[in-house]
Structure 1
Amino acid sequence: MEEHFDIVVVGAGLAGISAAYRVQTMLPNRQFVILEARERIGGTWDIFKYPGIRSDSDLTTYGFPFAPWSKERQIANGSEIADYIQETVKSCGLENKIRLSHRVLTADWCSREKRWKLTVSENGTEVVIYTEFVMWGSGYYDQWEGLNPIIPGIERFEGIVAHPQFWPEDLDYSSKRVVVIGSGATAITLLPAMSKTAAHVTMLQRSPSYILPIPMIAAEDRILRAYLPKWISSRLVRWKYLLLPRLTMELCRYFPGIIRAGMRRLTKALLPVHIPQDPHFEPKYKMGEQRICLAPDGDFFKCLHTPNASILTDTIETITSTGLELGSGNRISADIIVTATGLKIQLFGGAHVKVDGQIVNISEKYAWNGTMLQDIPNAAMMIGYTSTAWTLGADIMAQLVIKVMVAMEKRGAKVVVPRLDLGMGVNPAPLLDINATYVKVAVGSVPMAGDRGPWRRRTGYYEDCWKVRFGDVTQELVFES
């Protein structure tokens, strides 16, 4: 069976839903469909089920701009976010556009026919869908395989090894000794959640992260909502959460010493006396170089005051049948080891992308404005921000791409393709703006950013908004009729 659509959106998570909504409202005459590889929508919030899973951004900016988050709590748990996505899909009338269990296997552009041929697995049966344009909203990590760094001796462990991305539904950790390997947002969520019922949970980190306690419900938000009309208070709250992360990043850039000293004082005041700040809370990187981990109502620090939780900064020498031997010579006994070691980066949902039958090596390509790839026609990635709210970046990129499609219509063009002017002398730079280990590992599987022109790495939401509203979105693009 073969079908044809003007636009195919791949993925029904936050990025895919944002892209589909923008197509529906900004290009109402286009026929489109959303292909979701899984049996349910929600993306990340359908995949991850580990204890305590929650957002690591405020929901005012992490939520959809066209369907504002209405609850007071800014840090929401996984089930709340999944429900919110479902409600948004219904309220926006996108339900009938979604096809579940449709995984794109290959995407092959044909220059002669000026369209994409998508080979799609529909519950194990291959079908073909043709489309003029593909908007990839499938995220930036592998849904089917996690990042599993080499941990010496892990195969000898006789207990349970769990990865947060594939959490066993029947895992009973009550009265068990648990070691969580990692120091990112996932590990910092797991420690307070699991220590409530486990015998003991140890967070073992090779190097620390910055952890910022924030109120679950901000007092100023509550005051604004209590005394102002909803349409005014919601806008003020949104602007607050748009401005604060940017202000924080700018302060980190211009006053790194002052910010680091402030974080030291804050952390020291929250720690129990038996846990030293150095080395457990002295990151090796500058604040702002990696995502800041949030602790709602300081839950991470509170659990360290209990006998059920502890933190260690060390390296793993080897895993034994009953626990871990560390580089310092210490040993930890464990019944369960949780490898909260990050995500495996993967673009296009793992699909093989071809242009006229030739497989594209995306690591050799530059990203045009962080969304379209050099020499690849009529296709774009809806990549969000990694240092601030993901959805902000994915949604503004969808608007940028649709503006490009409008420019195609005006020119009567069937094809648009980014072409790098070799005379510009563009130098490569990392595409993603964080310095995390899992990003460094994936250098060979992601496109490059440049250092000038539309190939430059995205710098922030305000710059992207300006570009979409007032900028020239045709720079370095070739339109073919």
Structure 2
Amino acid sequence: MRSNASDCDVLIVGAGIAGISMAAHLQDKCANLSFMMVERRAQPGGTWDLFRYPGVRSDSDMQTLGFAFEPWDDDQSIAPGGSILEYLRGVIHKRGIADHIRTSTTVISADWQGDQACWLVSVEGPDGPEKVRARWLYMSTGYYDYDHPYDAQITGLESFAGTLVHPQFWPENLDYADKRVVVIGSGATAVTLVPAMAEQAGHVTMLQRTPTWMSVGPSRDRLARVLRRILPRKLAYWLVRQRNIRLFDFLYHAARRNPHMAAEKLSEGVRKELGDLYSPEDFTPPYNPWEQRLCLVPDSDLFKSIRQGKASIVTAKIDTVQTDGIALEGGEVLPADIIVTATGLKLSLGGHIKVSIEGRPVNWGEEFFYRGCMISNVPNLTFVFGYLNASFTLRADNTAAYSCRVLNHLRTSGTQIAIARPPADGLVEGEPFPFSSGYLMRDLAQVPKSTDALPWRLNHDYLADCRDFRRNGVDDGHLQFELAPRVTDQSPVADQPEMA
């Protein structure tokens, strides 16, 4: 194994939205630091390079899913996956980030070396295994398992004689023209797949055990189009971005304060779309709006498919899968040539990377989130965990900017280690998520803990986080800045390993 083949100040793991954001922030705010980005896939893009199912699109508006520093100029605010991927690769090309990316390279483990104040990272790429030393580890790996989606343990699935597909591993050139398709699931993926497949399929049935709250909205933003005509592109983008952030923040908090009113509004919207085809049992979840993520139906595409008879929704539990369809508990059988198991994600923090501190494995579930991006007692590491009620990119940009502030403070203070240390009297665990989504509840034990107050809270309030970052500096007493252990009173800082 090659050792110290590549050293850098910051190692970014993952070349999706979060990794690209961090690279751009380093260029703008920490130009003196070297960085490397490793990506296990053959191409950058993260989620948007992985998912290739029909109709794949953003479930947030592109004025907030787009980066703060790079305007989204397309007319479509709810954009197809291919356009998003093109946008991300455009940012990479424009900023020369590609020179820092090593694709087809998997991070196996990362061990904190206290005496050297660096991470010793084991990676495996096209040239075999090697070691990389980095002063800072930036985990932009997302929070779901790329390799193993959630297995809903559907009885009899192995007996199905037709084509079985999971959206996370969509086969190239799947022929579903004139086929009977059953999509199992009710989340954003199912809501996207059904109308997209209905354009060619014989019929598509969305089979759900539990309904999801849905909201109709346009896929194109008229205000954005108008402002781009009369204002500089960056100003137009900023204005629409701010409008969207505040509007959706208001709607979210209004729904949480008055769930009954929100439920009535959402139900009224769906009733208006479907008329006599509306069935309360198919569109009334057993939880309040925004206790799980709301599903956007852009341009009413799902409801149009239902009105046209190309798609339908069935709310029932599965008894067993048969060779030619799905038998429901009530006795009905849904015939199927293709079954799509859009049953959800499986949570995975850190992309299966074995993280340790001087050989001692880090158990994420035993630690606490700090300022939404660092982990208690884990030095020189930031982790991007997106907002569950807003665009992923909002947290990614905030985390990248904060990480750069910490890195700059290390340089100016002459220290090498930044570590969030809980107070001596400990922390009181609070509710980590104000949501009841299945993928969160199933794997809650592996998620770092959260208190009920900042800075030890995994907040899901973007505007509140922005205020916190503005008002409170990085040297807040909770985040400790330290010298490497081998630095003594007789050893000047200049003699120690420093960031470039």
TM-score norm. by structure 2 comes to: 0.93
1:38-117 alignment to 2 at 5 Å? Answer: 38-117=41-120
CA apart distance, 1:210: 1.2
Q: 2:245 aligned with 1:242, yes or no?
A: yes
CA apart distance, 1:433: 4.7
CA apart distance, 1:280: 0.3
CA apart distance, 1:457: 2.2
Question: 3-state DSSP class of the match of 1:354?
Answer: strand
Matched-pair contact (CA < 8 Å) for 1:116–1:131: yes
AA at the equivalent of 2:439: Y
Using the alignment, how far apart are the partners of 2:196 and 2:323 within structure 1?
A: 26
Q: 2:384 aligned with 1:375, yes or no?
A: no
Using the alignment, how far apart are the partners of 2:241 and 2:101 within structure 1?
A: 29
For these two proteins, the number of residue pairs brought into alignment is 479
Using the alignment, how far apart are the partners of 1:131 and 1:53 within structure 2?
A: 36
Question: 3-state DSSP class of the match of 1:197?
Answer: coil
CA apart distance, 1:472: 3.1
CA apart distance, 1:257: 1.8
AA at the equivalent of 2:349: L
1:224-373 alignment to 2 at 5 Å? Answer: 224-273=227-276, 275-373=277-375
Matched-pair contact (CA < 8 Å) for 2:71–2:233: no
Matched-pair contact (CA < 8 Å) for 1:214–1:295: yes
CA apart distance, 1:375: 1.1
CA apart distance, 1:261: 1.2
Q: 2:2 aligned with 1:4, yes or no?
A: no
1:131-142 alignment to 2 at 5 Å? Answer: 131-142=134-145
Using the alignment, how far apart are the partners of 2:282 and 2:47 within structure 1?
A: 29
Q: Which residue of 2 aligns with 1:164?
A: 167
Q: Which residue of 1 aligns with 2:488?
A: none
Using the alignment, how far apart are the partners of 1:108 and 1:58 within structure 2?
A: 38
Match of 1:21 among 15, 20, 24: 24
Superimposed CA distance per residue, residues 143-200 of structure 1 (whole angstroms, 9 cap, x where no aligned partner): 1221112111111111111110000113111111111011110000001000111111
Using the alignment, how far apart are the partners of 1:226 and 1:454 within structure 2?
A: 42
Using the alignment, how far apart are the partners of 1:254 and 1:440 within structure 2?
A: 23
Superimposed CA distance per residue, residues 60-110 of structure 1 (whole angstroms, 9 cap, x where no aligned partner): 110111111011110110111111111111111211011111110000111
Using the alignment, how far apart are the partners of 2:10 and 2:233 within structure 1?
A: 36
Match of 1:178 among 178, 181, 186: 181
CA apart distance, 1:268: 0.5
Matched-pair contact (CA < 8 Å) for 1:467–1:473: no
Using the alignment, how far apart are the partners of 2:391 and 2:71 within structure 1?
A: 14
State the identity %: 37
Using the alignment, how far apart are the partners of 1:289 and 1:138 within structure 2?
A: 25
Q: Which residue of 2 aligns with 1:427?
A: 429
Matched-pair contact (CA < 8 Å) for 2:45–2:88: yes
Question: 3-state DSSP class of the match of 2:11?
Answer: strand
Matched-pair contact (CA < 8 Å) for 1:108–1:356: yes
Q: Which residue of 1 aligns with 2:405?
A: 403
CA apart distance, 1:336: 0.9
Matched-pair contact (CA < 8 Å) for 2:37–2:100: yes
Question: 3-state DSSP class of the match of 1:392?
Answer: helix
Q: Which residue of 1 aligns with 2:475?
A: 474
AA at the equivalent of 1:452: A
CA apart distance, 1:459: 3.3
Using the alignment, how far apart are the partners of 1:112 and 1:455 within structure 2?
A: 27
AA at the equivalent of 2:333: R
Q: Which residue of 2 aligns with 1:443?
A: 444
CA apart distance, 1:276: 3.4
AA at the equivalent of 2:76: R
AA at the equivalent of 1:19: M
Matched-pair contact (CA < 8 Å) for 2:388–2:460: no
AA at the equivalent of 2:288: K
TM-score norm. by structure 1 comes to: 0.96
Matched-pair contact (CA < 8 Å) for 1:385–1:394: no
CA apart distance, 1:222: 3.4
Q: Residues 124 and 281 from structure 1, CA distance in 2 versus in 1: closer, same or farther, beyond 3 angstroms?
A: farther
Q: Which residue of 2 aligns with 1:203?
A: 206
Q: Residues 219 and 20 from structure 1, CA distance in 2 versus in 1: closer, same or farther, beyond 3 angstroms?
A: closer
CA apart distance, 1:426: 1.5
Q: Which residue of 2 aligns with 1:457?
A: 458
Question: 3-state DSSP class of the match of 1:56?
Answer: coil
Matched-pair contact (CA < 8 Å) for 1:60–1:69: yes
AA at the equivalent of 2:369: A
* Structure 2: tracts of 5 or more residues without a match: 484-500
Using the alignment, how far apart are the partners of 1:188 and 1:453 within structure 2?
A: 35
Using the alignment, how far apart are the partners of 1:227 and 1:129 within structure 2?
A: 49
CA apart distance, 1:229: 4.9
* Structure 1: tracts of 5 or more residues without a match: none
Using the alignment, how far apart are the partners of 2:314 and 2:419 within structure 1?
A: 50
Using the alignment, how far apart are the partners of 1:127 and 1:39 within structure 2?
A: 18
Using the alignment, how far apart are the partners of 1:360 and 1:382 within structure 2?
A: 17
CA apart distance, 1:4: 1.1
Using the alignment, how far apart are the partners of 1:157 and 1:260 within structure 2?
A: 38
Matched-pair contact (CA < 8 Å) for 2:55–2:196: yes
Superimposed CA distance per residue, residues 206-247 of structure 1 (whole angstroms, 9 cap, x where no aligned partner): 111111111122333333344445454333212211111101
Matched-pair contact (CA < 8 Å) for 2:109–2:354: yes
Q: 2:424 aligned with 1:385, yes or no?
A: no
Q: Residues 77 and 19 from structure 1, CA distance in 2 versus in 1: closer, same or farther, beyond 3 angstroms?
A: same
CA apart distance, 1:438: 1.1
Question: 3-state DSSP class of the match of 2:28?
Answer: helix
Using the alignment, how far apart are the partners of 2:391 and 2:107 within structure 1?
A: 27
